[in-house]
């Protein structure tokens, strides 16, 4: 056996770092920082990451609870001080608070929506897809409803997409929730921005114009100062609920 082959065989393989090891390393780094600083760092984490940390280091539990309460306060709502617990341990308190935050995050979220002649879907990765036709059941055109730009009219059925297909105009945007109306479509991003597309001849797209249609998603700038958490689309009007509690409506009534 050659010496080169022997030396290659003796080289140690790189160790694979597991998720548990990564969490333990992160907790160890945090242990050297002041508690209030740690809480302000933790409040930026997603609930699933906080849950994983809660299972990694018991000493983090009071700081995890503080982080959740800080974030709730900054977002304009308060978590209850008195929790319905049989076991009032720090770990149990953190699990209950995480559960409340997860439920709140899902409030108003819709990952599948069906209009009269089209459907919208959000993939687990936050990609928005649509399919259907840009004609209503009475044979009237609803241009732009699918959000894929101008569709070929010579295909049969015309102005249609037969399978769920990602919208190119939102390819780089993570979508949180959708709404499908008769003549319009709405999407809320993970940042609380709202996009609309479809028929706009009654102001139902929210862009401040009476344009006949919008064939690709366009952000509603009138809502740019708010973080929107839920939307709903009707026949020729739409509604949006902001995290601040404000409710917006537009279109024709």
- The answer to whether residues 161 and 220 belong to one domain is yes
Of the residues 106, 130, 155, the one at which a domain ends? 106
Of the residues 106, 133, 148, the one at which a domain ends? 106
- The answer to whether residues 18 and 136 belong to one domain is no
59 falls in which pLDDT band (50, 70, 90)? confident
Q: Do residues 144 and 198 lie in contact, with contact meaning Cβ atoms separated by under 8 Å?
A: yes
Work out the average pLDDT over 6-12. Answer: 52
Domain assignment present for 237: yes
- The answer to whether residues 120 and 226 belong to one domain is yes
Lowest-confidence segment of 29-33, 58-62, 89-93 by average pLDDT: 29-33
- The answer to whether residues 133 and 192 belong to one domain is yes
Q: Please state the domain count of the chain.
A: 2
pLDDT, position 98: 80
DSSP string across the chain: --HHHHHHHHSPPPPPPPHHHHHHHHHHHHTTS-HHHHHHHHTTS-HHHHHHHHTT-GGGHHHHHHHHHHHHHHTT----SS---SS--HHHHHHHHHHHHHHHHHTT--SEEE-SSEEEEE-TTS-EEEEEESB-TTS-B-TTTTSSSSPPSSSSSTTEEEEEEE-GGGTTS-EEEEEE-SSEEEEEETTS-EEEEEE-TTSTT-SSS--SEEEEEEE-GGGTTS-EEEEEE-SSEEEEEETTS-EEEEE--
> Model confidence over 201-222: pLDDT tens digits?
899 999 998 878 899 999 999 9
Q: Compute how many other C-beta atoms are within 10 angstroms of the C-beta atom of residue 45.
A: 17
249 falls in which pLDDT band (50, 70, 90)? very high
> Model confidence over 101-155: pLDDT tens digits?
777 766 668 899 999 899 999 999 999 999 999 887 777 888 899 999 887 554 5
- The answer to whether residues 183 and 99 belong to one domain is no
156 falls in which pLDDT band (50, 70, 90)? very low
- The answer to whether residues 151 and 70 belong to one domain is no
- The answer to whether residues 141 and 224 belong to one domain is yes
Domain assignment present for 140: yes
pLDDT, position 12: 55
Instruction: Flag whether pLDDT at 85 surpasses 80.
Output: no
Write out the residue range of the structural domain in which residue 74 sits: 12-106
- The answer to whether residues 74 and 122 belong to one domain is no
**% the chain with pLDDT above 70:** 79
- The answer to whether residues 142 and 95 belong to one domain is no
Domain assignment present for 2: no
């Amino acid at each position: 056996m050659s010496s080169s082959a022997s030396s290659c065989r003796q080289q140690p393989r790189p160790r694979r770092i597991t998720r548990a090891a990564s969490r333990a390393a992160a907790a160890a780094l945090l242990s050297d920082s002041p508690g209030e600083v740690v809480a302000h760092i933790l409040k930026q984490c997603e609930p699933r990451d906080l849950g994983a940390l809660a299972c990694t280091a018991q000493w983090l539990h009071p700081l995890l609870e503080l982080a959740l309460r800080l974030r709730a306060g900054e977002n304009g709502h308060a978590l209850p001080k008195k929790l319905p617990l049989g076991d009032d341990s720090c770990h149990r308190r953190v699990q209950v608070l995480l559960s409340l935050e997860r439920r709140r995050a899902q409030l108003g979220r819709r990952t599948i929506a069906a209009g009269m002649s089209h459907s919208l879907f959000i993939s687990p990765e936050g990609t928005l897809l649509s399919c259907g036709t840009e004609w209503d059941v009475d044979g009237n055109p609803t241009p732009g409803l699918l959000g894929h730009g101008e569709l070929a009219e010579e295909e049969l059925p015309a102005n249609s997409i037969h399978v769920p297909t990602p919208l190119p105009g939102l390819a780089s945007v993570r979508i949180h929730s959708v709404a499908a109306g008769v003549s319009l479509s709405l999407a809320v991003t993970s940042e609380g921005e709202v996009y609309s597309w479809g028929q706009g001849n009654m102001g139902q797209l929210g862009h401040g114009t009476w344009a006949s249609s919008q064939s690709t998603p366009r952000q509603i700038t009138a809502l740019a100062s708010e973080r929107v958490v839920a939307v709903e689309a009707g026949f020729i009007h739409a509604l949006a609920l902001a995290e601040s509690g404000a409710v917006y409506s537009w279109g024709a009534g």
